[in-house]
Chain A
Amino acid sequence: MNDKEIVELYTSRNESAIKETAAGYGGYIHRIVGGILRDPSDSEECENDVYNILWNSIPPEKPMSFKAFLGKVARNAAFDRYWYNNAEKRGGRMDIVLSELGDCVPSGESVERAAELKELAGYINEYLRGLDKRKRQVFVRRYWYCDGIKVIAERFGYSESKVKSMLMRMRAGLRKYLERQGIAV
């Protein structure tokens, strides 16, 4: 079943939409959620949340790219659970990912959150557009999919030190780019 047909199942409120999504993209959802939440029971609950969110989102949403849409739903659901679970705890693997990104963000002023996030996302898109494809893929694998350094190195055939070096340069580049735009988050 193709994506358009799956979306049509959601739109017509046919419950087999969930089954078809799981058949086609269960592994993809599992990998995204599992990359953020390491606890298996947490991941399983979160994956169930993802299907519920999809069911409640389509309609009114009509995603052009169903895979990218459900990927975003999965990522957001996993991070929501992560923030909730880790409100007090610090030091986990995701904290390392987050602390790396902290280097990119000029500190200081604040603006309205929603507008700020949208603006920031727009600038990140601009920054990504200027990167070579391979570098962009590495950046997105690390900071969107939250893949580990070792996993990225194996995927691209790079050494771990090369991946770290690429990420460090891109973070520095992103920080400079955001500073030039006057972004302070």
Chain B
Amino acid sequence: MKEERKLIEAIGMIDDKYIEEADMAKGNIKFRRIMVAAAAAAVLVCGSAVAGNIYIARREGGSSTIPVYTSVADRDRIYKDFGFYADLPESFSNGYTFEGGYKGSARDVSNEGAVVNSFSVLTCEYSNGDDTIMLGMNAEGYDEYEDESEVIEYNGYKLYYSSNMYKTVPADYVMTDQDKADEASGKYIFSYGTDDVEITEFKYLGWDQNGTSYSLSGHDTALTKDELVSMAEELIDIQK
């Protein structure tokens, strides 16, 4: 047992982030697609497609239109308000500047419709001219990123990038047969909560760091994948 004891003791010394990550691990939930709440829009529900697995759930969320932060909050304030630590920049080096932070809630729903988890999310808006992107944060992690995500590594963190066409519709919208076919073929991902039907390209970059899940996302944003990655790298670098 001597050798095994050394190994078990060495495993006891692994990085805190892996211990926390495993502590947060939850089962029976997989997400094929995840979309963060758009803070500046009206209260909305994020529809996320249901994947073909018996354990599949969807993540729904809504966000207030009234900011909880009108200036950048420090990590302790964020911890107090949301239960996770995050360090936020006033602005990114590419000029995107903090506009506001919005509190939202999200919940994970099983494919039987039962709410299996609920939690708070913080969504911060960063703008540059007419272009706006959302920095989403929560403490729940993403159990599965969509299979077709591109993985980019930076300083040991895996960043998951995807770009999809979203058709965002009013909450009472009834899907047509063509809509159902488009959803089935993957042409559009349907989301709910806008006043009018909108078709947009949704770019998304997500990663987990020190127990907090981050995402940078935008509809029809001018930012390229590489620019989003650069912003993510800036964020990763400033986390204490």
Contacts and interface: CB of A to CB of B under 8 A. Distances in A.
Query: Do A and B interact with each other, yes or no?
Result: yes
Interface of A: 2, 4, 28, 64-65, 67-69, 71-72, 75-76, 79, 83, 90, 95, 97-99, 101-102, 104-105, 107, 113, 116-118, 120-121, 124-125, 128-129, 133-134, 136-138, 140-141, 143-145, 154-158, 185
Interface of B: 1, 3-23, 25-29, 55, 76, 79-80, 143-144, 156, 158, 208, 210-211, 240
B16 A64 contact: yes
User: Closest 8 A-B residue pairs measured CB to CB?
Assistant: A68-B16, A140-B22, A121-B13, A120-B10, A98-B4, A137-B25, A156-B27, A157-B28
A124 B25 contact: no
A162 to B, nearest CB: 12
B208 A133 contact: yes
B20 A185 contact: no
Contacts of A69: 16
A104 B19 contact: no
Given A124-B11, A157-B28, A102 B4 contact: yes
A107 B22 contact: no
B3 A72 contact: no
Given A118-B13, A121-B13, A157-B28, A136 B21 contact: yes
Given A143-B11, A156-B27, A136 B18 contact: yes
Contacts of B19: 68, 71-72, 140, 144
B27 A157 contact: yes
B14 A128 contact: yes
B16 A116 contact: no
A2 B208 CA distance: 21
Given A4-B76, A157-B27, A133 B13 contact: no
A157 B211 CA distance: 22
Contacts of A107: 3
Given A72-B19, A121-B12, A134-B144, 18 more contacts: A4-B76, A68-B16, A68-B19, A71-B23, A83-B5, A98-B1, A101-B7, A128-B15, A133-B158, A137-B21, A137-B25, A144-B18, A154-B27, A155-B27, A157-B29, A157-B55, A185-B3, A185-B6
